[in-house]
Each structure stands twice: as C-alpha cells, then as structure tokens.
Amino acid sequence: MIHLAVGPGAHHATWLNVFYDLNFPGLGHPLLRTAGGQELVSPFVPNMLLVAVALSVLAIVSGRAIKGLPQSRFQAALTMAWQYFRNFSIQIIGEQGPRHAPLLGSLFIFILAMNLLGLIPGFLSPTSNLSITAALALFVFVAVQWYGVREQGAWGYAKHFIGEPWWLFWLNIPIHIIGELARPLSLAVRLRGNIFGEDTAIVIFIAFGAALFRALPIPIPLQLPMLAFGVFGSVIQALVFTVLSAVYIAGAVEHAEEH
C-alpha cells in the first residue's frame, strides 16, 4: 500500500518496519538507518526480498516433490505454466524460444508477485518504486545484449548498429544506441507508473470510505472495485513487461540469423 504522508518525516507503514527498528548491540541506532535517522535501504527493498525468498522456497519445495508426473493440483499448475511460457517464447522468439522460457517465466512470476503484494494491507508493491523497476529493466537490457553477443560474437552483434546502407553508419549508430537505451527506460517508467497509480487510487478510495464512514455509520468498502482492478492491472503489467522483454530478445536473435 502507498503511504499518504509526505515530507521528510513521512514513513511507510508496513509489516516489515520491524527491520527499521532493530538496533546493533551497543551502537544505539537502527539497523537500516544512519545515526541521524536517514534510511540506508528503501522500505521497498525488504518487500522485494520477501517476494524473492517466498518464491524461491516455493520453487525448491515444489520442485523436489515432483517425481515424474505431477502429484498435486499445484504441481499440475506449475507444469501448465511451464508449457505456457515455453509456447509463448517459441511464438515470439522462434526456435530458440525454449532457451529463454525460464528467464521470461521467472520475470513474469516475480513481477506479478511484487505487483500483488501491495494489495495486501501492511505491505508495499516494490514495483511502485522506480529504483526497483529500473533494476529489473537494467537486468533485461544486459541480458539482451549478452544474448546478442553470444549468438553472433561482439563484432557480428555490433554490425546491426551500423545498419544498411553501411555508409550511413554515422547516422545509424546514434539512432540504434538511443533506441537501445530507451528500452530499459520505457520498461522501468511504464511498470512503475501503472502500479504506483493503482496503489495510489486504492489508498484514495480507502481514505474516502473512511471519511464517508464518519457521516454514515455504515462501512462502505469503496476500495473493493479498485482492488479487483488492481489484480487485473497487476497481471497485465507483468505480462506487458514480459512480452516486451521477449520481443527485445527476439530482435537480438533475429539479427544473429540475418547476419
């Protein structure tokens, strides 16, 4: 959820605030703050780590239990999800799609879980923070460049920056570089803006419902429709991020095949 307070004294109210109240023995200042009270780690980071740890434990436990055919509905759902992302990657990337299905599937599940976390009272959506979405976008950017270089070598991958005709390299190279750098910026800003907007709208409806309760002694959960829309929007934004990542990877692989 998003806090309503603003200014230097504003504080994010989450269940993970306990980390900000822990002290080093004998030092007398909080674990994640300086002696002056300045935050060393954003409150969004513990929320992100909570999602990462929970998904990792879930993957390890469910993976060890699988022996041949799925033995539970949850394992069957995981198998179906894997098949979906495998087919999804083939449709966008091509024959090399299955090699990238684990990355794309992990991105979607991780981003979706972070999006949905903010809909739970007492938690924050890590993806409503630009530093988190920028880190995700930067990871995708580096991965795309790595895949391009791996497929065709450093010089072969650099050729697509030169473009056609080659004698317009002085124009093509800056255009291609700007286009490559715009991709992570677009991914980061789009994801952060949409999730931040959804969380802010939910808080506004909650505040409005609380104000209305003062006039009418009947609790009216005005935020419920927005919560339903938040679930839908969380899925859509995770899917958009994943689809664009797959398209960028496909572009690097296609260049390899063309050269």
For 252, other C-beta atoms within 10 Å of its C-beta total 21
Instruction: Tell me the three state secondary structure of residue 39.
Output: strand
Q: Note the pTM of the prediction, 2 decimals.
A: 0.84
- Structure confidence at residue 185 (pLDDT): 93
From the CB of residue 127, how many other CB atoms can be counted at a distance below 10 Å?
33
Confidence of residue 143 (pLDDT cuts 50, 70, 90): very high
Q: Specify the higher pLDDT residue, 256 or 123.
A: 123
pLDDT digits 0-9 by tens, 13-26 = 576 766 666 655 55
Q: Is the pLDDT of residue 34 over 50?
A: yes
Query: Of all helices (H) and strands (E), which one includes residue 130?
Result: helix 130-162
Collapsing DSSP to helix, strand or coil, 94 comes out as coil
Instruction: Please name the residue that has the structure tokens 């504080």.
Output: 11
The mean pLDDT of the chain is: 80
- Spell out the domain ranges in the chain: 43-258
Mean pLDDT of 219-230: 82
Coil, helix or strand at residue 223: coil
Between CA 256 and CA 42 the distance in angstroms is 40
The backbone region for 192, taken as left when phi is positive above 0, alpha when psi lies in -120 to 50, beta otherwise, is: alpha
Long-range contacts of 169-174 (CB under 8 A, 24+ apart): none
Cβ-based neighbour number of residue 36 at 10 Å:
6
Q: What is the mean pLDDT of residues 38-64?
A: 83
C-alpha 188: how far from chain center = 9
pLDDT digits (tens, 9 = 90+) for 182-195: 999 999 999 999 99
Using one digit for the tens of pLDDT, what is the confidence trace for 156-190? Answer: 777 777 767 767 767 778 888 888 889 999 999 99
The stretch 243-258 carries a mean pLDDT of 79
**Residue 106 confidence (pLDDT):** 93
pLDDT at 241: 96
pLDDT tens column, 52-75:
999 999 888 776 656 656 666 777
